[in-house]
Every structure is written in C-alpha cells, then in structure tokens.
Amino acid sequence: MKFNPFVPNGIAYPGMFIGRLDEIQTIEQALFQTLNGNPQHLLLTGERGIGKSSLLFYADLVARGEIEDDHTNFNFITVSTDLAGISSQVGLIKQVARELRSKLRQHQKLQDKARKVWEFLSNWEVLGVKYNARDDELDPDELLDDLVTICDQLIGSEQFDGVVFLLDEADSPPAAANLGEFVKVFTERLSKRGQPHLLLILAGQSLLISRLRESHESSLRVFQIVDMHPLEQSERRAVVQRGISIANEKNERKTAISDDALDLIAMLSEGYPHFVQQFSSSAFQVDTDDKIDIHDVSTGAYSENGAISQLGAKYFSKQYFSKILSSEYRKVLDYMATHGDQWVSRKDIIQNCGVASTNVDNALMALKSREIVLADDARRGFYRLPTRSFATWILAVGRSGREDFFGDSA
C-alpha cells in the first residue's frame, strides 16, 4: 500500500496548494490595508471546484500568521465559516458569533479586554442560551448592533491586528438572508465607530454578485472582486509534481511520473484544480510499477469509478445520465464543448456536428429541458453549456477510445 497524496475531495492543504500568486498578493495587500486602518473587502468568485475554499483557507493561515507573508507576520483573529444552510440574517449573525466565540476559546492567553468579549459572547442571547428564542423572534438589527459592539471591543483590546471574516459558500443563502444588507450595514456601523480593522472575505460562485446586488444595491461597492480562473499550464504540472514529491517523502517505494503523463493530466484538466487532483489521484491509484505513464492516466480516468465518472457524479450529477452518452446527443455536446461556455448558434451546430438537423433540434430541446444546455433569452437559436468545467469534462469523456488519445507513443 502506498500513501496517495492527492485530494480530489478536500481543500488543498498548504503543502499541496500551488499558484494563485496574484490572488494571494491581493489578499496580503487587503490584510496590510486593514492592519493600517483602510480595509479593502474581497469577493472571491469562480466556478465550482476552481479552488475558492482552498484559497480562503490559505488566506486564513496568512491572516493568523501561520504562513508568513513577505513583509509582515499578521496576527489577525479569523472567523472562518461557511454559509451553506443559512436562511435568515439572524441565522447568519448567530453563525458568525458562534464561530468567533469558538475561535476566542482556542486562544490560550486571552488578555483581560479580549477575555471580557469572550465572556460577553458566551452569554449572548443571540446564541439562544438565555431565552432560547426562535430565530424569527429575534431582531436582526439589534443582533447586528451587538456584533458590531463585540468586534469593536475585540479590536479595541489590541490583542490582535484586527478581525477577518472568511465566509465561504456565500452564494448559498437565499435572498431572504439579506447578505448584501448585512455587509453594507455592518461595515458602515463599524466605520462610524471609528473601527477600521475588520476585513470581509466572501467566496462563492459568480451568482454571488447578483445575490448581493439583489439584497442591497450598493453592497457590491464595498468589495474588490477577485474572479478565479483555471490554473496555468506550468501550475497544473506543478500540482502533480508536488503531490508526487509529498508521496515520495512518505512512502518507501518511490513513484516517478513520465513527462507525457504530466502533459496528459494538464491537458485533460484544462487547469481546473479539482480535475487535476482527480486525474492525478486516479492515475496514482491504478499505477502498479511505481512509474505513472499515460496508460495509468487513461486507465485511471476511464475505468469504471475512475476519474471521469467520479467528476461526473460529484459535479454534474444533474447532467450525468445515460442520455448524453447516446451518440447523437454526444455529438451535439462534443461540438458545443469545443466552444467552452460560449454561445453557439443552432446553425453552426448543424453545420459542424455531423448530425441531421431534426435530430439536432430534438437533442437541443431535450438537453435544454434538463438544463444541460442553456438557451439565450435575447437571441433565438443560440445555446451554450452552463460552465466551462462541464465543457472540459465533456471533452475528456469524448477523448476515451479515440485513436489520438495515446498520442504518438501508443
């Protein structure tokens, strides 16, 4: 048995975390600004699996001084939580307060002032301890005021550089939770109290932007938007190589990987970090001779329960059904996938995908009704795939069994 270092199902731990240099610089800059009293709040957006949670975790470590920045060793107290399952503003404030309390508890040496905040938090009615009030009986505005006071006092205790809220899955609360209003009112009340040492970093799918706007027209103005893209070519290879070297530190039997296997993973993944991790993990798993080559990559990808089917089940479950494997639908999807998530006209599809026009129409209707393809509201006859990573997956599925798959060496 060998330790498999790849993490297709979890956030990239610091040793495994590659790239994102611009994003990290932006985060460090935002922390530095906050330290100096002029916070620049951040919104990390991007497709599912692009690496938002991993970047948030990295930001958490930098903010706490666990990872040293070039210039400064920060000492923020961080409140990291995810907002999945939050349905109201009261729920949101409670969740943040609970996390803050548990963070403070972990600090061994809380000085007097900060200890008072912790004690206050522990008794806070918002946690339902005293009154056991239901969420809908609590006044969100009062709670927000309490949270402002708590943060104000905590920062005032001068034990920390300030407070950083890292809120993941920020696109998931419904409009009723009023996240945009929370952001706007919370940051404004803090600044009115002359308290500028608080930073918000929110992460979520791109939908988060419209959610915030819906909730409060000007809440977006508070944020700098950091849109995350797939990894660069060299970073894709670096993720695989890093994994292999982590494995080689732990395992007695060392693993090698061929250059063309690295390239194949980089190509199949198109830089989506969750794809890189999954293809690498599956290749590592099927390798038996301690040398990962392109056959290991392809067996790992295409075998039953291999990388392709794992990714399909995890990320595209709605789309992942037998119909798209029928050859005419596949041809339509294959052609559309060459355009990523860009609009393609029906005419273009008919001309290029090799399927008769009535069958293309049937396929588009069926795919649209299952939300596998989207139709343009503004222009008749234009369609696209919902995400680029879905297009990447479709293309990867399509490569199985193709003669060119193994390149020249097959």
Kindly tell me which residue out of 34, 45, 53, 187 binds Mg ion, with binding defined by CB under 5 A: 53
CB 359 within 8 Å of CB 350: no
The answer to the question of residue 19 lying near ligand ATP (CB under 6 A) is: yes
Cross-strand bridge partners of residue 382? 345
Least distance between ligand ATP and beta carbon 249 (Å): 17
- For residues 148-183, one letter each, b for 16 or more C-beta atoms within 10 angstroms of the residue's C-beta and e for the rest, the string is bebbbebbebebbbbbbbbbbbbbbbeeebbbbbbb
Point out which span in 34-42, 218-226, 245-253, 272-280 binds ligand ATP (CB under 6 A): 272-280
Kindly tell me which residue out of 4, 18, 95, 178 binds ligand ATP, with binding defined by CB under 6 A: 18
The answer to the question of residue 350 lying near ligand ATP (CB under 6 A) is: no
CB 397 within 8 Å of CB 301: no
CB 296 within 8 Å of CB 286: yes
Residue number, 39 or 204, with CB nearest to ligand ATP? 204
User: According to CB under 6 A, which residues from 216 to 245 bind ligand ATP?
Assistant: 239
Instruction: Give the x/- contact pattern for ligand ATP in 39-58, rule: CB under 6 A.
Output: -------x-xxxxxxx----
H and E: helices and strands count for the chain: 16, 10
Residue number, 208 or 333, with CB nearest to Mg ion? 208
Residue 277 binds what, of Mg ion, ligand ATP, none (CB under 5 to 8 Å, by partner type)? ligand ATP
Tell me the site size for Mg ion, rule CB under 5 A: 2
Alpha carbon distances (Å) from 315 to 32, 106, 309, 310, 336 = 36, 35, 10, 8, 19
Whole-angstrom distance, CA of residue 275 vs CA of residue 266: 9
The answer to the question of residue 273 lying near ligand ATP (CB under 6 A) is: yes
Least distance between ligand ATP and beta carbon 389 (Å): 10
Whole-angstrom distance, CA of residue 49 vs CA of residue 44: 13
CA 184-186-192 angle, to 5 degrees, is: 100
Which residues are near ligand ATP by CB under 6 A? Answer: 7-8, 10-12, 16-20, 46, 48-54, 239, 273-274, 277
